[in-house]
């Protein structure tokens, strides 16, 4: 390594250094004298700090002047995976002062105008930014279980007795613009690793009419994006405006599950879950407006790829009427209903359990 010093610079330095490398020693000495060192190949050039920064500013000014003299060129880049709008901000920072980006939404393309070497830099950045994103396939299973048989699954949802329980939240009611009741029960969250055993129990309960699978939707969601699964129906409700005029408005009741997956480096998935369960429950006696009961909660669970998150503790009550009659005689008009049959009514308590299983889908 050759060291170049200023011709007119003379100074003496006294220092006592032990177990210090020559580079660290040189840096300490130069700092004490207001000097800096600039490496150019195998030459270490020493100069005053003010001169060093002056040269840097001069070089930057010269480069800026050269950029202003270069002819602008235009390049069209077709975006394959991302949206052109999403890449606009990141690429704008790589342009010169004269550079600009236009977006063609129809073809999802970026039209970039700048000096040649800046266009080359954009071309190097694009494959990194415009790369296929991993997805998460969400498999959901919505099951309604006879509450008296729920414990046969080995999981007590209402007590939050789950593997790696995350939290236990009270279900809350939201008005949705209507009168609101106070639903009972609580929503609990947890994870299970062996869905095969649970599926076997569900099959057994369903064969005995103690469970009913409402739906088994599947949805693919891009990593860090939000998707939703809806199972329910729209019901027409007759409402009144301030003038007393009646009108019909459709309301969605049922189950809506919003999921935001985040794929982690160690091949597991963080799920942001927001279940909302709503049902129609009569009318308000004062305003004659329908009452919609709503239970909702939010939680974040970290589970392995292919493991299952569980949402339980959503209790419902059903009023059923069962007609029992003597064969043949019970179907005789009038007499059959009066003498040979009877109706029994009962309240059935059911629990809605939601299973959510993520599967990572990688593009490579």
Which domain CATH number covers 121? Answer: 3.30.1370.120
Kindly state whether residues 24 and 167 are assigned to the same domain: no
pLDDT at 256: 87
Kindly state whether residues 80 and 62 are assigned to the same domain: no
**CATH code for the domain of 60:** 3.55.50
Kindly state whether residues 80 and 174 are assigned to the same domain: no
Q: Where are the beta strands (DSSP E) in the chain?
A: 2-4, 35-40, 43-48, 73-78, 100-104, 109-114, 135-146, 168-170, 186-192, 211-215, 218-222, 227-240, 246-263, 268-283, 290-296, 299-304, 308-325, 341-361
Kindly state whether residues 50 and 191 are assigned to the same domain: no
Kindly state whether residues 60 and 150 are assigned to the same domain: no
Kindly state whether residues 63 and 180 are assigned to the same domain: no
Number of domains in the chain: 3
Domain range enclosing 158: 135-361
pLDDT at 174: 33
Kindly state whether residues 35 and 100 are assigned to the same domain: no
Written as six digits, the tokens of 181 are 């009741």
Mean pLDDT by 10 residues, the chain (364 residues): 70 74 77 76 76 73 66 91 89 88 93 90 91 90 76 48 34 32 51 66 76 86 91 80 82 86 90 84 59 79 86 69 68 68 69 87 83
Task: Please tell me the distance from the alpha carbon of residue 210 to that of residue 146, in angstroms, as a whole number.
Answer: 5
Q: How far apart are the first and last CA of the chain?
A: 47
Kindly state whether residues 40 and 85 are assigned to the same domain: no
Kindly state whether residues 141 and 161 are assigned to the same domain: yes
Task: Please tell me the distance from the alpha carbon of residue 189 to that of residue 50, in angstroms, as a whole number.
Answer: 64
**Domain end residue (candidates: 84, 102, 129):** 129
pLDDT at 30: 76
Kindly state whether residues 204 and 244 are assigned to the same domain: yes
Task: Please tell me the distance from the alpha carbon of residue 33 to that of residue 125, in angstroms, as a whole number.
Answer: 42
pLDDT at 179: 29
Kindly state whether residues 327 and 341 are assigned to the same domain: yes
Kindly state whether residues 59 and 77 are assigned to the same domain: no
**Domain end residue (candidates: 129, 151, 175):** 129
Burial (CB < 10 A; 0-12, 13-18, 19+), residue 125, is middle
Written as six digits, the tokens of 260 are 């935001």
pLDDT at 283: 58
**Domain end residue (candidates: 85, 109, 129):** 129
Task: Please tell me the distance from the alpha carbon of residue 119 to that of residue 113, in angstroms, as a whole number.
Answer: 8
pLDDT at 193: 64
């Amino acid at each position: 390594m050759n060291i170049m010093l200023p011709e007119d610079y003379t100074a003496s330095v006294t220092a006592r250094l032990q177990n210090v490398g020559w580079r660290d020693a040189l840096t300490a000495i130069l700092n004490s004298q207001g000097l800096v060192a600039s490496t150019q190949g195998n030459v270490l050039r020493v100069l005053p700090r003010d001169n060093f920064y002056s040269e840097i500013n001069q070089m930057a000014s010269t480069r800026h002047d050269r950029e202003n003299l270069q002819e602008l060129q235009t390049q069209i880049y077709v975006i394959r995976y991302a949206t052109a709008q999403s890449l606009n901000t990141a690429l704008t920072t790589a342009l010169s002062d004269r550079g600009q980006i236009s977006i063609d939404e129809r073809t999802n393309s970026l039209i970039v105008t700048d000096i040649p070497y800046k266009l080359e830099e954009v071309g190097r950045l694009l494959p990194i930014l415009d790369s296929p994103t991993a997805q998460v396939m969400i498999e959901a299973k919505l099951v309604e279980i006879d509450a008296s048989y729920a414990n046969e699954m080995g999981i007590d949802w209402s007590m939050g007795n789950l593997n790696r329980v995350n939290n236990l939240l009270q279900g809350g009611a939201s008005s949705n613009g209507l009168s609101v009741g106070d639903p009972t029960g609580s929503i609990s969250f947890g994870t299970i690793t062996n869905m095969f055993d649970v599926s076997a129990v569900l099959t057994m309960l369903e064969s005995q009419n103690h469970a009913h699978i409402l739906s088994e939707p599947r949805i693919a969601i891009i990593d860090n994006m939000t998707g939703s699964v809806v199972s329910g129906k729209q019901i027409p409700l007759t409402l009144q405006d301030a003038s007393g005029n009646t009108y019909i408005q459709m309301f969605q009741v049922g189950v809506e599950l919003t999921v935001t997956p985040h794929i982690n480096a160690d091949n597991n998935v963080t799920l942001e879950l927001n279940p909302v369960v709503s049902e129609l429950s009569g009318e308000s006696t004062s305003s004659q407006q329908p009452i919609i009961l709503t239970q909702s909660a939010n939680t974040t669970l970290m589970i392995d790829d292919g493991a299952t998150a569980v949402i339980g503790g959503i209790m419902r009550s059903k009023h059923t009427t069962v007609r029992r009659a003597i064969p043949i005689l019970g179907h005789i008009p009038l007499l059959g209903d009066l003498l040979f049959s009877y109706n029994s009514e009962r309240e059935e308590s059911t629990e809605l359990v939601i299973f959510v299983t993520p599967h990572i889908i990688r593009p490579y």
